[in-house]
Structure 1
Amino acid sequence: MTSPKTVLITGTSSGIGLAAAIGTARAGWTTIATMRDTGKAGALLQAAAEAGVADRVQVERLDVTDPAGITACLEAVVAEHGRLDALVNNAGAAHVGTIEQGSVDDVRAAMEVNFFGVVAVTRAALPHLRAAKGRVITVGSVGGAVGQPFNEAYCAAKFAVEGFMQSLAPVAATVGVDVTVVEPGAVASEFVANLGLDVPALLAAAGPYGPALEAYLARTRQSFAAAQTPAEAAVPIVDALTAARPPFRVQTSQWARDFVATTLADLDGSAVQALTGSWVR
Structure 2
Amino acid sequence: MPSTSTNARPKTVLITGTSSGIGLATAVAAAREGWHAVATMRDTSRADALRKAASEAGVADRVEVRRLDVTDPASVAACVDAVITEHGRLDAVVNNAGAGHLGTVEQETVADVRAVMEVNFFGVVEVTRAALPHLRASRGRLITVTSVGGVVGQPFNEAYCAAKFAVEGFMESLAPLAATTGVTVTLVEPGAVASEFVANVNVDIPAALEAAGPYAPALRNYLDRTAGAFADAQSPAEAAATITEALRAVRPALRMQTSDAAGGFVATKLKDLDGSATLAVTNGWVA
TM-score, structure 1 normalization: 1.00
Please name the residue that 1:263 is paired with.
Answer: 269
Given residue 61 of structure 1, which amino acid in structure 2 is its aligned partner? R
Given residue 210 of structure 1, which amino acid in structure 2 is its aligned partner? A
| C-alpha distance in 2 between matches for 1:263 and 1:239 | 24
| Cα drift, residue 100 of structure 1 | 0.2
How much identity, in percent, do the aligned residues show?
Answer: 71
Please name the residue that 1:96 is paired with.
Answer: 102
| C-alpha distance in 2 between matches for 1:176 and 1:2 | 21
Please name the residue that 1:20 is paired with.
Answer: 26
**2:164 pairs with 147, 158, 165, which one?**
158
| C-alpha distance in 1 between matches for 2:232 and 2:194 | 8
- Over residues 6-36 of structure 1, what are the superposed CA-to-partner deviations in whole Å (9 max), with x where a residue is unaligned? 0000000000000000000000000000000
**1:52 pairs with 40, 51, 58, which one?**
58
Please name the residue that 1:72 is paired with.
Answer: 78
- Over residues 31-60 of structure 1, what are the superposed CA-to-partner deviations in whole Å (9 max), with x where a residue is unaligned? 000000000000000000000000000000
Given residue 85 of structure 2, which amino acid in structure 1 is its aligned partner? A
Please name the residue that 2:37 is paired with.
Answer: 31
| C-alpha distance in 1 between matches for 2:153 and 2:92 | 29
Please name the residue that 1:135 is paired with.
Answer: 141
| C-alpha distance in 2 between matches for 1:236 and 1:171 | 24
| C-alpha distance in 2 between matches for 1:56 and 1:173 | 29
Alignment of 1:171 with 2:177, yes or no, is: yes
Alignment of 1:211 with 2:217, yes or no, is: yes
**1:277 pairs with 266, 270, 283, which one?**
283
- State the number of aligned residues: 281
Matched position secondary structure for 1:191: coil
| Cα drift, residue 179 of structure 1 | 0.3
Unpaired runs of 5+ residues, structure 1, are: none
Aligned runs of 1:235-246 on 2, under 5 Å? 235-246=241-252
Please name the residue that 2:4 is paired with.
Answer: none
| Cα drift, residue 274 of structure 1 | 1.1
Given residue 224 of structure 2, which amino acid in structure 1 is its aligned partner? A
Please name the residue that 1:83 is paired with.
Answer: 89
Please name the residue that 1:2 is paired with.
Answer: 8
| Cα drift, residue 197 of structure 1 | 1.2
| Cα drift, residue 171 of structure 1 | 0.1
| C-alpha distance in 2 between matches for 1:217 and 1:171 | 41
| C-alpha distance in 2 between matches for 1:117 and 1:200 | 31
**1:185 pairs with 191, 194, 198, which one?**
191
| Cα drift, residue 3 of structure 1 | 1.1
Instruction: Please report the RMSD computed on the Cα atoms of aligned residues, expressed in angstroms.
Output: 0.4
| C-alpha distance in 2 between matches for 1:196 and 1:276 | 23
Please name the residue that 1:122 is paired with.
Answer: 128
| Cα drift, residue 232 of structure 1 | 0.3
Matched position secondary structure for 2:89: coil
TM-score, structure 2 normalization: 0.97
Matched position secondary structure for 2:169: helix
Please name the residue that 2:229 is paired with.
Answer: 223
| C-alpha distance in 1 between matches for 2:100 and 2:27 | 21
| Cα drift, residue 196 of structure 1 | 1.6
Unpaired runs of 5+ residues, structure 2, are: 1-6
Given residue 183 of structure 1, which amino acid in structure 2 is its aligned partner? E
| C-alpha distance in 2 between matches for 1:177 and 1:195 | 33
- Over residues 217-275 of structure 1, what are the superposed CA-to-partner deviations in whole Å (9 max), with x where a residue is unaligned? 00000000000000001101001001111111000000000000000011011111111
**1:41 pairs with 14, 31, 47, which one?**
47
Given residue 29 of structure 2, which amino acid in structure 1 is its aligned partner? G
Given residue 83 of structure 1, which amino acid in structure 2 is its aligned partner? R
Given residue 110 of structure 2, which amino acid in structure 1 is its aligned partner? V
**1:61 pairs with 67, 77, 87, which one?**
67
